[in-house]
Structure 1
Amino acid sequence: MDKTKIVVTAIIGLVVVIGAWFIASGFKNFREGQPVISVTGMAEKEITSDLIVWKITVNAEGSTRSSAFTEFEKSARVMSKYLQTHGIPEKEITLSSVDISKRTKDFWDEDSRKYVTLEDGFSVSQTFTVSSNDLKRVEGVYQRISELYNSGMDFSSEKPLYYYTKLNDLKMEMLNQASANAYERAQTIAKGSDSKVGSVVSSTMGVFQIVGLNSDEEYSWGGTFNTSSKEKVASITVKTTYRVK
């Protein structure tokens, strides 16, 4: 019986000692922690847009639905011919559906002492969207389109929008550059503290955005994608944490 008590007591004592060692070791590791370096790498690149999108809306009016549509057809033919004559092929022009709507006008009725709404004919409109990789050619036509106002046509021309279509390739290239930049920064920090950069703990892509070259656009945490400038600057950030040797 005494021997049993001695064995049990010894086992309990051993367990307590081992447990105390693990706890002490755990607190030590927790207190010391694993030294790491966290840095943000960045890459920038100037790019030139390779796609231009230009919208022109042709309008027409008439006292009746048919007269408004007839007038619109004349203007639409003139616009289509003008664009193609100036070097924009039909395949680069997309037409929206034709919109026909009633026009109204309001006037003050003295007898009833209130505004009265009356029908005032019909209006018809359609948008021509030019999408082309030949930016210079489309820009030239855009700058001369006002010539058509002399013909009595009713239309509106929007400013062209500029896009870069190889964004996926660009993003991959810049991610590589930003990651390399992050590593260089980590090495600089480690060298200053007489350490070496170890393996990557974590790495996440930050903001990818495009702003106009030499513009006063502000960078946004949510990302900015400029479409008003032909020349742009793309930037991307990468947040990376490394172990320290």
Structure 2
Amino acid sequence: MNRTKLLLAAFAGIVIIISAWLLAQGVTNFRKESPKLNVTGMAEKQITSDLIVWNITLKAKGDNRASAYSQYKRVAAIMRKYLKAHGITDPALSTSSVDINQETRQVYNRDSHQYDSYDDGFSVTQTFTVRSNDVPLVERVYQNIAELYNEGIDFSSNAPLYYYTKLNDLKMEMLNKASENAYERAQTIAKGSHSAIGAMLSSAMGVFQIVGLNSEEEYSWGGTFNTSSKEKVASITVRTTYEVEN
């Protein structure tokens, strides 16, 4: 019995010694670990849109399908002629499918105190889309399109959408600048604390977004991509971690 107790006591002592050694090693390694510095670098650049997209919706009406479509063809011919005369050629123009729908009108019935529906002929609609890299040209046509109302045609003109087509090149350029900015910030922080920047441990791209120039658009963590302004500001962030050398 005494021999068993002695063996158990010896085993427990060995376990305590090993545990203490492992703990001491962990504390030593923890103390030896280099401090880290997390910084966020940022870059901005003003860009001018190089692609404009403009949608025009044509509408025509008739008592029946045939007359509505005949009227539509007249309207479409006038629109095509106008756009071509002002420099918008066929390669820059595409169209949606033609939609023909039966129209109804609502008339209030005083006897039943409700609205009754009546057939009101047919309507034909189609969207013309102008897509061009000649942004100034399309802007001029857009600004003067109201002249066509004098021709007695029915259409609606949406505000143009503006895009920048070299986003991949832009993103690479700005990532480089944002990384340089992150390193400069890290150096400034380290210098203020009498330390030096060591090796980069990790780096990840943050938010890339585009907002209108001088606009009040709010920046979003998910990224904002403005299409309403020709002049824009692109921005990108980079989150980087460096070792700090004392």
TM-score by length of 2: 0.90
Task: Report 1:182-193 matches (<5 A).
Answer: 182-193=182-193
What letter matches 1:104 in structure 2? T
Q: Which runs of 4+ in 1 moved over 3 A?
A: 9-19, 28-34, 110-113
Distance, in Å, in 2 between the alignment partners of 1:33 and 1:117 is 80
* Structure 1 residues 160-209: Cα deviation after superposition (integer angstroms, max 9, x where no partner): 11100011111111011101100110111111112111122221111111
Aligned residues: 240
More divergent stretch after superposition (218-227 vs 29-38): 29-38
| Equivalent residue number for residue 244 of structure 1 | 244
SS in 2 for 1:217: coil
Deviation at 1:239, TM superposition (A): 0.9
Alpha-carbon distance, 1:22 to partner: 2.4
How far apart are residue 23 of structure 1 and its match?
A: 1.5
Aligned twin of 1:115:
115
Identity %: 64
User: By how many angstroms is 1:27 displaced?
Assistant: 2.8
Aligned match of 1:6: none
Please say if 1:144 is aligned against 2:144. Answer: yes
Following superposition, the deviation at residue 110 of structure 1 comes to 3.2
Query: Secondary structure in 2 aligned to 1:226?
Result: coil
> What does residue range 77-156 of structure 1 map to in structure 2 within 5 Å?
77-156=77-156
Q: Structure 2: any 5+ residue segments left out of the alignment?
A: 1-8
Any stretches of 5+ residues in structure 1 without a counterpart?
Answer: 1-8
Deviation at 1:107, TM superposition (A): 1.2
Amino acid across the alignment from 1:241: T
2:170 aligned partner: 170
1:199 has 2:199 as partner: yes
Quote the Cα distance in structure 2 between the aligned partners of 1:193 and 1:226: 41
Matches within 5 A, 1:59-70: 59-70=59-70
Q: Distance in 1 between matches of 2:212 and 2:110?
A: 56
Amino acid at match of 2:226: N
CA distance in 1, matches of 2:110, 2:88: 54
Q: What RMSD, in angstroms, separates the aligned Cα atoms of the two structures?
A: 2.2
Q: Structure 2 matches for 1:34-73, cutoff 5 A?
A: 34-73=34-73
Residue by residue, what CA displacement relative to the aligned partner does 1:97-131 show, whole Å, maximum 9, x if unpaired? Answer: 00111111111223434221111111111000000
Query: What residue identity is the alignment partner of 2:43?
Result: A
Shift in alpha-carbon separation, 1:16–1:112, aligned structure 2, 3 A: closer
1:244 and 1:11 mapped to 2: Cα distance? Answer: 43
The DSSP-based 3-state class of the residue aligned with 2:199 is: strand
- Following the alignment from structure 1 to structure 2, what is the Cα–Cα distance between the partners of residues 138 and 115? 44
**Which residue number in structure 1 is paired with residue 234 of structure 2?**
234
- Classify the secondary structure of the residue corresponding to 2:242: strand
